[in-house]
Chain A
């Protein structure tokens, strides 16, 4: 885990790059209305199609890079995410509630991967980190 000693926020940064497709595909399956933002990505008809869709996998890599940026700027995620927030608000028109859904999905998937090593304390620190990411992404919505 990478940890910010002053805030106690933690992110299993070593886990994310190894599993880039962790990020969006489960969210698209568990909360199917999130697919509205991926209508140009091809076949999303069922779970198998989503899991094997190369556009979704490529997008997963983008999401991981975004989270990596937050890890590297844990002291001020808001500032680091200004452009990303504007992008999601003004160009992609993503309902910010979706960021929370993705964060919840990511937590469940990481829990499955890490097992008991994902202690309540680690979960709390990770939740704090994700809350910062979610808030930062929603900051430039007006």
Chain B
């Protein structure tokens, strides 16, 4: 167990935790993406407004599974580009800003559900230290995705 003070989640340690945990969970990425998206649509029904063109929004539907995979591909990109998320997620930011026009408040909602999905699949590995690093990482991803909005 580490004894680092809590305000020492400086770059190196935080990135190391994120990369290590991603390596552990990436084999289940598709399942995590599908579960997180399913939960988001059920628990926060206002998010369904972005998917009014889908036939089936129910948990585990084919469209939900496919889109969960798309989301996790984005997360994988973010992990790979963790040293410069703004540059690394530039085109994704443009997509969300100009084409999808997703209200950035929803990034927080999806992030929360990603943490729930991960906690369910990896209860022992999802320690408080990993939790804080994951939360911080997803917040940084959300910020990078919001860059091109205005």
Residues of A bordering B, CB below 8 Å: 25-26, 29-30, 32, 44-48, 51, 104, 107-109, 111-116, 118, 120-121, 123-124, 127
When chains A and B are docked, how far (Å) is the Cα of A24 from the Cα of B118? 20
Contacts of A107 in B (CB 8 A): 112, 116
Please list 14 pairs of residues, one from A and one from B, whose beta carbons are closer than 8 Å in the complex, sorted by A's number.
Answer: A29-B6, A29-B129, A30-B128, A30-B131, A32-B6, A46-B4, A104-B112, A108-B131, A112-B120, A113-B123, A114-B120, A115-B123, A116-B120, A124-B43
Give Cα A115 to B4, complex, Å: 29
Min distance, Cβ B86 to any Cβ of chain A, angstroms: 24
A60: min CB distance to chain B, Å: 14
Q: Which residue of A lies closest to B122 (CB)?
A: A112
> Does B38 interact with chain A (Cβ within 8 Å)?
yes
B126 close to A112 (CB less than 8 A): yes
Task: Please classify the interface of chain A as helix (H, G, I), strand (E, B), loop, or mixed, using the class held by over half of its residues.
Answer: helix
The answer to whether B112 touches A112 (Cβ under 8 A) is no
Given A30-B131, A47-B129, A111-B120, are A120 and B39 neighbors across the interface (CB < 8 Å)? Answer: yes
Could you tell me if A29 and B116 are in contact, using CB atoms closer than 8 angstroms? Answer: no
Could you tell me if A108 and B119 are in contact, using CB atoms closer than 8 angstroms? yes
Q: Is B135 interfacial (CB 8 A cutoff)?
A: yes
Verify B128–A47 contact, CB threshold 8 A. yes
CA distance A116 to B112 in the complex (A): 17
CB distance from B33 to the nearest CB of A (A): 14
Smallest Cβ distance from A35 to chain B, in angstroms? 8
Residues in A with CB closer than 8 Å to B119 are: 108-109, 111-112
